[in-house]
Structure 1
Amino acid sequence: MDTLEQPDLTRYAALLPDTGEPGFGVYVHWPFCAAKCPYCDFNSHVRHQPVDQERFTAAFLKEMATVRQLSGPKTVTSIFLGGGTPSLMNPSTVSAILDGIAKHWHVPDSIEITMEANPSSVEAERFRGYRAAGVNRVSLGVQALNDRDLKFLGRLHDVADALKAIKLARDIFPRMSFDLIYARPNQTVDEWERELKEAISYAVDHLSLYQLTIEEGTPFYGLHKAGKLIVPDGDQSALLYEATQEITAREGLPAYEVSNHARPGAESRHNLTYWRYGDYAGIGPGAHGRLTRGSMKIATATERKPESWLDLVESDGHGILDQEQLGYEEQADELLLMGLRLKEGVDLARWQQLSGRDPDPKREEFLLEHGFIERIGNSRLRCTPSGMLILDSVVADLAC
């Protein structure tokens, strides 16, 4: 396929630069999709009747007021409209939600405002409407660049739809990212390298590249358990991962997190808030939040089923089912779990302040000797490329 014209990369420089601080994000969950993908375990739902967007908008705004009471005054550093398929929302819905966030918190000009979109639901006028509402970054769920695998993944778009959506996004938004899933059945390293190089030729400044995982409760889980869906084994997955890191680094989109790659300066501000263990407000069905109150952090979670959430918000002002106060040790574990995903690693002083201790010397020495972690000066600790391959084990060792 022909590559698209190279974009003007100075366009994304107008957005506020990354300060290195965790920040405060607002996440809004739109739970509806046109179809449920067989690998997906996200809180997404298919409705065959039109969704009452005005009613849901009013509920989002009502829940925001409650969450604002929990968070106190904050300056927002990023907004993320996720799902589900937020690109099924009317532009007027998006505009009302963004206006609501600005009413409850301080929203500086030029912060990152991201919307997820599926290529099958992309229309030029809707994209222009989202841009006019304030969205300045779009994240497209492309997932594959061949029609056979798109069909296997249950996607409603084909490659032609994906390329059309990518071109529109590049033309309309200052920033654009898209997702691909690799480690698909029978996928070879050579095949993935060709597909990844093609993807990079279409990319502007960011790619999210995820290994296919088999999640319990999904159709793929049942097929896998029955032996009807075979994914690459650990060794093959490692080879695919290593090829991913090598190619993206060589092409100027190095990994800054396990699955995310960006030109320097174009990292996702919102996702950095999660991985740096910042605060974020979760609004909508099934949304999670982390809000600091004094010296403690509160974990919030809302009702997952959209209609039940809607009823709760209309009767009680919010759909929050759980408010858990996290102790220092729990916060330290979460900081480690999230921060070790990043190339920049974890701020050791912050971890020590929360945990009240230093890393276990014997465990740290073992991981250092085997090349799974490394110190960055005296202030930070991070996983090496080898450590990223066994990230869960590294986190478990250090957290003990």
Structure 2
Amino acid sequence: MATQANSVAHKTVVKVDPFIPADQQKGIHNRWHPDIPPYATVKPGEVFKVECVDWTGAQIGNNDNSDDIKNVDLTKIHNLSGPIAVEGAEPGDCLVVDILDVGPFDKMPWGYTGIFELENGGGLFAKEFNSRACKAIWDFKGVYATSRHIPGVRFAGVSHPGLIGTAPSAELLATWNERECGLIAEHANSVPPVAYAPNPTGTYVGQDLDSAVLKKIGEEGARTVPGREHGGNCDIKNLSRGSRCYFPVFVKGANLSVGDLHFSQGDGELSFCGAIEMAGVITFSTSIIKGGVEKFALKQPIFLPSPIDPLYSSKLIFEGISVDLHGDGKQYNMDATVAYKQAALNAIAYLQKLGYTREQAYLLLSAAPVESHVGAVVDSPNACVTLAIPTGIFDFVITAFPMQVLNIFADESIGHPSQGRGSHKT
């Protein structure tokens, strides 16, 4: 018979409550800084769990109004669990992190995707759409997600951490701040901003530290918005359970932090709040490769993707080139971002023909497991990028015409993303 002998549960090194604001909890921080001490310490080879609040720190609710998206306080994001020190890790080493499992809290089986305001967060099409707040709530049933705000779709999630990385050294932090503040100075009046400078407002470290240290972290701490040399907010959807990550170590213990968990995401995370954002639990194991930075020429992390992916073999693929065909027709030279945007706009236009609103299409491409690939960046002047939508996520045939197959949109009272009272459709 089964016994408890030799049956030891994996420990949880950071515990949080997804319904309590992040800045009222321990073991959470929202800035990168080498002076943030480890909240917990683990041994190489040890399996451990980390609980995470959603990236906004419980600012978003499960409702049919997007005022919370419209008014989100971006000085308080992203909220990361940790740091977690790994015994024996030293600067110059490689920290190997195995992602063993990722999933939502049992008591919070839902997530959200949002379109941010042009003046507060933006997104890939913030300027083109003059974007206003909008959100879709997604309900989780096992591996599947559905939304009352985007009817006709159901898909399996590829759950993953949007943000994971090691702590920077003081020298690396200074490099980040110098180059990003320089970029801001070059584009001082950009809306949305091109980068986010250190900002004491909203800074939070869920540990009892000396006031001078907290002040220094607030004044110098790097915002967690972008990915950088240490990993960070890279939003790589295939880093789901079974993935292995190789991170450069810059400080003693490596000081690993994680957050911004996603139930699902499309390549590109179009709308900035562009995955199915969730709170949840992630399970890790770590090891150390001594001198790994030199051995692997590790200027940025290296990843082995998960062996587990939803099986969607049939896809409808949209091409984009580096010409603004949806705007003023301007020719760009080998700009893959322009090409990606054109592919996405082509897909949005197609989905609108199926009966979805532009907001629904925008949110869907952000949340569903769409795939994007660079076709070519060698044929001047046009880079070519593709965006592929799995046809199997729809409960109707999206290549079937005429459009009367889409009876699911006949009821105007359902199936629209929630919008803030101060917002409007574009």
Fold conserved (TM > 0.5)? no
Report which of the two has the higher share of strand: 2
Report which of the two has the higher share of helix: 1
Normalising by structure 2, what TM-score? 0.22
Q: Structure with the greater relative contact order (CA < 8 A, sep ≥ 6): 1 or 2?
A: 2
Normalising by structure 1, what TM-score? 0.23
